[in-house]
Structure 1
Amino acid sequence: MSTSTRSPRPARMRHTAGKILPEHARAHNRALVLQSLFSAGAMSRADLARTTGLTRVTISDLVAELIGDGYIVERGVREASGPGKPAILVDLARDGHRIAGLDLSGSDRFRGATLTLDGEIVARHEVPVPASAADIVPAIIELARAVIADAHAPVLGLGVGTPGVVDDRGTVLTAPGFGWEGLDLSGILEAQLAVPVLVANDANAAVLAEHTFGGAGDDVILVRVGRGVGAGLLTGGQPLAGARFAAGEIGHVTVGTDGGPLCACGKIGCLEAWLSVPALTERVAASSDPGGVLRDAGERLGIALAPIVGALDLSEIVLSGPEDLLGDLLAEAAAETVRTRTLATFHDELHVRMTTHGEDIVLRGAAVMVLSGRLGVS
């Protein structure tokens, strides 16, 4: 994307808590420079010094280093507006690297893409989800190889969004749909592909895309509805993982004491049994009042979300999934239920909306994972 058409964004980083140690200061400062250019586009070295608060000497040194590493390029001079030598503009080398992304959340196909540093998809690949659990990892490796081969530029890293509970090292602690328990997916892929790999739960990847590329605020929950129901959370712009990396696993919260459908987990009335795409589609098709079915599902979602919104003081709920099911009636019912079950003074203006990224949200979130993990950019 050219600097002339890029829409500036306020620079925002997911800062590490606590004091920055001297041995980490240079990496932090590099990330500050890259984040500023990622958010605002081409800038002069003087602009960068003002934006980051770093000295001009430090900026000059960092820019030279980043140019040498291939992450920054000079873009010519700024149009002169007065006497003196025009400033030379620098920007991210947006075409100098590519990001590989995988979305493993589909019910019948795994999707992959090659993306630019701006999160734009330039190539797509997919493979069928194997019927046998033993063939799933080989299929993922095959897909990743195809995506990386289509990069036609150095690959900054591979981001993977997968169903299941994933720890901060890329190990899938559990993914019942795949039969995975304690699978070091990141390590397996790095050994096969020789590129850095970052793995996260698909909903957690999706909320990163919504924050970085979709304009979501710093306190948001994204509810992803497909075969199951999960959520990704940001508080203060920081991903919320939880003590056992299971924050956002809302699919098996019981939403009401009036019975309900039997869930695959064996409980009655889980949110997933009401809201998953297969279950909701079946009930809508069988009902003489499909609007009532959607409003009821939205109310169940609101029941599950109200305590989360109240506890974390969230400002926005984003829905990701089929818009014909989740939009309008269901979203309105969810918003109204949350408002009636939380303190009105703070949540009367709660915003519930569909994502604008459609099916690409996990792929774009995978790109954010790589940008953040490799460059400190988000």
Structure 2
Amino acid sequence: MENKRYGFGVDIGGTTIKMGLFLEDGSLIEKWEIPTDKTNEGSNILDDIAKVIEDKMVEHDIIKENVIGVGMGIPGPVKADGTVNRCVNLGWGVFNAATELENKIGLTVKVGNDANVAALGEMWQGGGKGYEDVVVVTLGTGVGGGIIIGGQMVSGATGAGGEIGHMTMNRDEIENCGCGKSGCLEQYASATGVVRLAKRRLKQNDDPSELRSLKEITSKDVFDFAKQKDEVALQIVDKVADYLGLALANITCVVNPQVIVIGGGVSKAGSILTETVEKHFRENAFHACRTTEFKLAKLGNDAGIYGGMKLVMPV
């Protein structure tokens, strides 16, 4: 056992912390979750992580000298040096999470924004495997993003690199996004955004649609009815894809990736979403970027722990 080397991947979420123990070559040995303790402004979170890692090292008979490090994704802006630039979901202010966890556990720690770290995971072992220039967009309750260039995360000066969901797509929008701005991509391409667009469309006129028979509309309903050729549902899907395709076309002008990887719960709609997004992307993309490939994410909820492990692996 002594000649083996290990690493830990950690993905901090608002409800649970996902963790994984890996061999140095990236093989996943075990994964587990613990609750996220947000009491006292999240002051217990790093202590909880340190304790669980120490317990796992005892359980697997691993000494510190054989651990290459701990890589961690955090749901907020993170600078390249490990400084968290406020994390509202956890109650964290501005502090260096990497240094603090290193001091608690005595291991090398590297951290990044959770979406960027998940993007690193998808590049390494998921939908972006085999590529080094990758944009990952995650369509869930919100819209997350991660940008990998030359195999490295783009964090940006204040840790906001890859915040694709908060690109302004509609300057005439009157409702506010959760970030405080209005007209963000997240207001149109997230699961909640799809529902917003559906409700708006149904109020516009009395066109017949199966969506009208539902008490509560979900984004899945919209895509399911679109697959059944419901004309109103198809129009809503096209609108969502138009916003997303335009946003991705603009992004490719800046970072010119080889591949765009689409993940998150909304991506489970499958080809009706991805093919329509691709169509609008090709219509709007700069000619030298139109060959960008599209792939679906493969790692699901494990992307963050894989990305965490990749963060600490030798280059």
User: TM-score of the superposition, structure 1-length normalised?
Assistant: 0.66
**What is the match of residue 363 of structure 1?**
305
CA distance in 2, matches of 1:211, 1:234: 8
Residues 1:124 and 2:67 aligned together? no
Q: How does 1:164-175 map to 2 (within 5 A)?
A: 164-175=76-87
- Report deviation, 1:261: 4.8
Q: What's the C-alpha RMSD, in Å, of the aligned pairs?
A: 2.6
Q: Is the 8 A contact 2:20 2:29 kept in 1?
A: yes
**What is the match of residue 40 of structure 1?**
none
Residues 1:250 and 2:147 aligned together? no
Deviation string, structure 1 residues 195-219 (Cα, Å, up to 9, x no partner):
1111111122122222322314122
> Residue 191 of structure 1 aligns to which amino acid in structure 2?
N
Q: Is the 8 A contact 2:42 2:91 kept in 1?
A: no
Count of residue correspondences: 277
Paired-residue identity, %:
29
CA distance in 2, matches of 1:356, 1:160: 20
Q: Is the 8 A contact 1:209 1:368 kept in 2?
A: yes
Q: How does 1:1-378 map to 2 (within 5 A)?
A: 96-104=4-12, 106-132=13-39, 134=40, 136-151=42-57, 152=60, 153=62, 154-214=66-126, 215-257=129-171, 259=173, 261-280=175-194, 286=217, 289-290=222-223, 291=226, 292=233, 293-322=236-265, 325=268, 327-344=270-287, 346-371=288-313, 375=314, 377=315
Q: 1:107 to 1:272 in 2, by over 3 A?
A: farther
Q: 1:173 to 1:131 in 2, by over 3 A?
A: closer
> Residue 335 of structure 1 aligns to which amino acid in structure 2?
E
> Residue 51 of structure 2 aligns to which amino acid in structure 1?
R
CA distance in 1, matches of 2:32, 2:249: 38
- Report deviation, 1:249: 1.3
SS in structure 1 at match of 2:107: coil
Unpaired runs of 5+ residues, structure 1, are: 1-69, 71-92
Q: Is the 8 A contact 2:168 2:185 kept in 1?
A: yes
> Residue 275 of structure 1 aligns to which amino acid in structure 2?
A
Deviation string, structure 1 residues 258-291 (Cα, Å, up to 9, x no partner):
5375311233221122233455467775277443
Q: Is the 8 A contact 1:296 1:333 kept in 2?
A: no
Deviation string, structure 1 residues 96-144 (Cα, Å, up to 9, x no partner):
121111101x342121111122323222232223353x25241343134
CA distance in 2, matches of 1:326, 1:103: 25
CA distance in 2, matches of 1:255, 1:136: 34
> Residue 144 of structure 2 aligns to which amino acid in structure 1?
G
Q: Is the 8 A contact 2:16 2:35 kept in 1?
A: yes
- Report deviation, 1:228: 3.2
CA distance in 1, matches of 2:97, 2:48: 14
- Report deviation, 1:163: 1.3
Q: Is the 8 A contact 1:261 1:274 kept in 2?
A: no
Unpaired runs of 5+ residues, structure 2, are: 199-215, 227-232
CA distance in 2, matches of 1:183, 1:227: 27
Q: Is the 8 A contact 1:130 1:136 kept in 2?
A: yes
